[in-house]
Every structure is written in structure tokens, then in C-alpha cells.
């Protein structure tokens, strides 16, 4: 819900703003002024040449970097892989798949990828674009019956590319709270038209369900569902047998890493995250061994040992800047960009890079970085709530490749970028003493309607109020604070998220502060 949304956003935006994004131009280290050099496009020239043997030197340090992060963070498990020159040159696991179990993580251990699913899904779209099934400029409403946003013009015009680059105008993480309440994909997409819009094609707001709507358009145009389409067009051709866009497949894997959160200072496996409603945006599960096949194809402009899987001209828009994801904060600062499902940026070495991070507050954190000019890419997967560990490792490795040394305190930067996750057991703390008494509890009891979130049911039980919401009836006990103000601990399927919010009754209305981010948190009491 709100806490989870924040970490997802930070995982992507900070990664883009700190040298972990880019595009696929081939960069040469030949000086433009060399009398014997073949003239090249200046946009393909890096500012800093690669140190001799830098990839090999970076690989030699990778074990130590990973082990240091495992020790300093205490996370249960991590898997890391590197591809270079069309080959897998590193693939290794660290730690355990589940705390308290002896099974170790290896290169075949399957992790939930969270938002690392977005660039993978973008390659599925690029495949279909290359085959003439759909185009990045195809209007989504033409392929998704009933699709609508708040503005009829935007509804008619918004394209697959608009939604994959987060420029549709939908607000940040639109629909995520509905997912947390238990709504399915169709129910969430049907409610997107109730959300207020930012300026169309001139704003950036990261969304899972906007992108999911675009993926639905691609799947519909292809005559199948998204998970099957991904399997047929990408996973099977690349031999990615441990990869799936269905949660049931991940849950059935014997060699899988389970998610962990920190409780009382120790990592524990609590609840399993089922991301099927937003599968195109966050529902892929895979191993680093499988992901090396995808990374090799990415670095080879869509080519595999079996031929050209994805036409380079169809893939190029996805890995080119399409939207400003982080504007410069000063004249000497670089902007960060988003393509179609990829973070795209230029590093301090003057090299374009590709990246994406993924994060589930219930226990997944992932990151990949590709440097096409060095023909190298790294991916790191972990089974702990996001604190910046995989981003730190991929950024350190990228520094070593480009400079021969780690130039930044990446661990410190990411520690500040990822605020400390609240202990889920602390959700019932922080109450202030009550002053004015409430009205008789029976006066608050009733059904409160809301078009976006659905009905909120307030009942009395054992002298206290209970709030029930969502299609699966999530229960939130209300604790009196002052007069008509109560507090509750928001939660999603899987348990509390460690924050406190207010519920304020005013006449026949109920304002739920946690659900009011887009001004939609007011519920109106139905007539008896």
C-alpha cells in the first residue's frame, strides 16, 4: 500500500538518478581526433576510456563485494550473475533460500523479480512490435474493451508507449492500494478512470497498473493472455525454463527463495506476495542463470544463437529516452530518463547504461545494470525487503568496469534513499491518549460507499469499532483517539505494513487518511 509504493518508486527513481540507467548505442573509445580513426558519431564516444582488463578485474572483486554486503546487511540470500562478450562469466548464490533452513541459494534459485519484470515485459512487447502485431503507438483503448481514464481525450489517445514510459498522466502508483485490498486486475483497471490525471505526455508518474493496461492491449492483440504470451515469445525461445509470469509457477518451484522482512531486528519469512494482478509490471519470477539469456539477447540487439529474436529497430525505442524521470536539480547535474520499461541514463564516464530495480516490501529486492559499450551486464536478486543491497552491488560493479575503482559510497547513498522499513509488529504503537469522548459507537456503525475503493463496513464488536474493506474483507480495528477521530493500522493481504492512519467521522461521511492520497478517501454512509 502507501509504504510499499514508496519503496518501489525509490528503487526505480534513485537507481536511474545514480548512474544505473542507459540505452543501447555502441560506444567507441577511439578519440575523435585520432588521424587513423574511422569517423564515428560523437554521441557514441565515451568520455572516459575503459581501463584495460576492467571487466576481468571487476569480476575478480565480485565475490568480496557480495560477501561484504551479505555480512553488513544480514539479508538471508542473494544470487548474482554477469554476462560479457556473449557469455555468462559469473553466476553464483550467497546465503540461504529461507532463514532457518539449510538450503543454500545457487544460480538456479528462483526469486520474485518485482519491477525488474517491466524491462523483461518490454522485450515481449518489442517482439510483438517487430512481428507487426501491435505498435508502441497503438492506442490502448483500441485493444482493451472498456478501457478509460478520467479525460476522454486521453482515453482515446493514450498509447502502449505512453503507459510503458509513465507519461499517461495517471498518478503515482495508481491502483496499487486496490491491489493491496484484494481487487483483481480487471477490477483495478476498471477503476482507473476515477483517478485524477496529471498533464498528459508532459509528466512522469511511475505506475504498475498503467503499464499493466498496456500489456493487456498487447496480449489481446496477440490473442492470448500476458503470461502465455511471455512464455511463448521470450522464455521458451531463450530457454528460460525456470522463468514465469504466473505466481503459481513460482510457488511450485522447489528451488525458490522466499521473501523476508525484519521483525525485532531479525529477518523472518512472513507472508508471500502474489503479484498476479500486476504480472506484466511485477509478476515475473526467475533465476540469475535464466536471466543471463535475456541479458545476452539484450546486449546483442535482440539476436540469439537461433537468430534475430527481436528486431533491433523494434527494441530501440524501449531502450531510448522517452520521458524525463528525474529532472536536474542544478545546471551541472544530469537528468534521468525512462524508456519503455527501462531506466535510461548516461553515467559519469559518459556511457549510456540500462537498468531497473524491483522491490516488494514483503521481501524482494532486485537490480540489473547493463553497459552496452562495454558489452557487459550484471543482475542481483535478493530475498529480503528493499534496503538497497542489490543496487549497491550493481553500482559498485559498474564503477569498477568504467573506472577501475568504486567511485561512490553506494551503500551509504542507497541507505539514505531507502528509508528504514517499519517493523510490521509496530503497527499498534504510537497511540495518543484520548481527550474528548466519542459519540455512542452505534452512531458510527454502517456501510460507507466509495466508487473507487468500494464499500467500507463499520461494525461494533465487544465495545469497539471494526472497519472492513475490500473484496476479501480485510479487517482493521479502530482505536479511539479524540472525539470522532479513530486510528487504524493499514494493511494489505499478508499483514500490517507498520504505519498508523486516521479515520475521521463527520456527520454521514468517513475520511480514511491513508486512502486519501488522490482525494478519494471520503466514504459516504448509505441510508439504512
The superfamily CATH assigns to domain 2-421 is DD-peptidase/beta-lactamase superfamily (3.40.710.10)
Beta carbons within 8 Å of 102's beta carbon, 6+ residues apart: 96
Contact 300, 24 (CB under 8 A): no
3-state secondary structure 352-364: EEEEEEEEECCCE
Q: What is the mean pLDDT of each run of 10 residues along the chain (528 residues)?
A: 37 37 37 56 91 97 98 97 98 97 97 98 98 98 97 98 98 96 96 98 98 98 98 98 98 97 91 95 98 98 95 98 96 96 96 97 96 98 97 98 97 87 51 78 97 97 96 94 95 73 97 95 91
Rounded Cα–Cα distance for residues 126 and 11 (Å):
24
Q: Is 507 exposed, middle or buried (0-12, 13-18, 19+ CB in 10 A)?
A: exposed
Rounded Cα–Cα distance for residues 183 and 175 (Å):
9
Rounded Cα–Cα distance for residues 185 and 196 (Å):
19
| Distance of alpha carbon 268 from the chain centroid | 22
What do you get for the CA distance between the two ends of the chain, in Å?
31
Question: Pairing relation of β-strands 509-512 and 501-506?
Answer: antiparallel
**Residue 51, φ and ψ in degrees, nearest 5:** -60, 145
Q: What pLDDT score was predicted for residue 426? A: 52
Contact 408, 395 (CB under 8 A): yes
Contact 367, 390 (CB under 8 A): yes
For 344, 345, 476, the CA distances from 370, given in Å and listed in that order, are 10, 11, 44
Rounded Cα–Cα distance for residues 225 and 56 (Å):
42
The length of the chain, given as a count of residues: 528
Strand partners, 28: 45
Q: What pLDDT score was predicted for residue 28? A: 40
Ranges in the chain annotated CATH 3.40.710.10: 2-421
Crossing angle of helices 389-403 and 2-17, rounded to 10°: 0
pTM exceeds 0.75, yes or no: yes
Rounded Cα–Cα distance for residues 454 and 162 (Å):
28
For 230, 410, 477, 497, 510, the CA distances from 439, given in Å and listed in that order, are 55, 53, 17, 29, 14
- The DSSP secondary-structure symbol of 300 reads T
| 425-525: in CATH 1.20.59.10 | no
Ranges in the chain annotated CATH 2.40.128.600: 425-525
Work out whether the CA dihedral 248, 73, 369, 416 comes out positive or negative.
Answer: positive
Q: What pLDDT score was predicted for residue 528? A: 73
**Residue 95, φ and ψ in degrees, nearest 5:** 75, -155
Q: What is the three-class DSSP state of 4? A: helix
Amino acid at each position: 500500500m502507501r509504504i510499499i509504493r514508496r519503496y518501489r518508486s525509490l528503487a526505480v527513481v534513485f537507481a536511474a538518478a545514480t548512474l544505473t540507467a542507459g540505452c543501447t548505442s555502441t560506444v567507441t573509445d577511439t578519440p575523435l581526433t585520432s588521424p587513423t580513426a574511422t569517423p564515428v558519431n560523437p554521441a557514441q564516444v565515451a568520455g572516459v576510456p575503459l581501463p584495460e582488463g576492467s571487466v576481468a578485474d571487476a569480476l575478480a572483486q565480485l565475490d568480496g563485494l557480495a560477501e561484504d554486503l551479505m555480512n553488513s546487511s544480514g539479508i538471508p540470500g542473494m544470487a548474482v550473475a554477469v554476462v560479457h562478450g556473449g557469455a555468462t562469466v559469473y553466476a553464483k548464490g550467497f546465503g540461504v533460500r529461507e532463514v532457518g533452513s539449510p538450503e543454500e541459494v545457487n544460480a538456479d534459485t528462483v526469486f520474485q523479480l518485482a519491477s525488474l519484470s517491466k524491462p523483461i515485459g518490454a522485450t515481449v512487447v518489442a517482439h510483438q512490435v517487430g512481428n507487426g502485431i501491435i505498435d508502441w503507438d497503438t492506442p490502448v483503448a483500441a485493444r482493451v474493451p472498456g478501457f478509460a481514464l478520467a479525460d476522454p481525450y486521453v482515453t482515446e489517445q493514450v498509447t502502449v508507449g505512453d503507459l510503458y514510459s509513465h507519461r499517461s498522466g495517471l498518478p503515482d502508483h495508481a491502483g496499487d492500494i486496490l491491489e493491496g485490498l484484494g481487487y483483481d486486475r480487471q477490477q483495478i483497471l476498471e477503476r482507473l478512470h476515477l483517478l485524477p490525471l496529471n498533464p498528459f505526455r508532459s509528466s512522469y508518474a511511475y505506475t504498475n497498473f498503467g503499464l499493466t493496461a498496456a500489456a493487456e492491449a498487447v496480449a489481446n492483440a496477440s490473442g492470448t493472455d500476458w503470461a502465455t504470451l511471455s512464455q511463448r515469445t521470450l522464455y521458451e525461445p531463450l530457454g528460460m525454463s525456470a522463468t514465469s509470469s504466473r505466481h503459481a509457477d513460482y510457488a511450485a518451484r522447489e528451488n525458490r527463495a522466499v521473501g523476508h522482512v525484519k521483525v525485532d531486528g531479525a529477518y523472518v519469512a512472513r507472508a508471500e506476495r502474489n503479484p498476479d494482478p500486476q504480472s506484466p509490471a511485477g509478476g515475473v519470477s526467475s533465476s540469475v542463470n535464466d536471466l543471463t539469456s535475456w541479458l545476452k539477447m539484450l546486449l546483442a540487439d535482440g539476436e540469439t544463437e537461433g537468430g534475430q529474436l527481436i528486431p533491433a529497430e523494434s527494441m530501440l525505442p524501449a531502450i531510448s529516452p522517452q520521458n524525463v524521470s528525474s529532472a536536474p536539480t542544478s545546471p551541472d547535474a544530469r537528468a534521468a530518463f525512462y524508456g519503455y520499461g527501462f531506466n535510461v541514463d548516461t553515467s559519469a564516464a559518459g556511457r549510456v547504461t540500462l537498468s531497473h530495480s524491483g522491490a516488494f516490501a514483503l521481501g524482494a529486492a532486485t537490480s540489473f545494470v547493463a553497459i552496452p559499450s562495454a558489452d557487459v551486464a550484471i543482475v542481483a536478486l535478493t530475498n529480503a525487503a528493499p534496503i538497497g543491497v542489490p543496487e549497491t552491488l550493481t553500482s559498485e560493479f559498474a564503477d569498477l568496469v568504467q573506472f577501475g575503482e568504486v567511485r561512490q559510497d553506494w551503500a551509504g547513498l542507497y541507505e539514505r534513499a531507502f528509508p528504514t522499513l517499519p517493523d510490521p509488529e509496530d503497527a499498534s504503537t504510537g497511540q495518543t491518549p484520548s481527550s474528548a469522548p466519542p459519540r455512542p459507537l452505534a452512531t458510527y456503525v454502517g456501510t460507507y460507499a466509495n466508487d473507487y475503493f468500494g464499500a467500507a463496513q463499520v461494525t461494533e464488536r465487544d465495545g469497539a469499532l471494526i472497519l472492513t474493506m475490500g473484496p476479501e474483507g480485510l479487517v482493521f480495528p479502530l482505536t479511539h483517539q479524540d472525539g470522532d477521530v479513530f486510528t487504524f493500522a493499514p494493511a494489505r493481504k499478508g499483514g500490517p505494513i507498520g504505519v498508523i492512519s486516521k479515520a475521521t467521522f463527520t456527520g454521514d461521511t468517513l475520511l480514511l487518511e491513508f486512502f486519501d492520497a488522490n482525494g478519494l478517501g471520503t466514504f459516504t454512509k448509505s441510508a439504512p
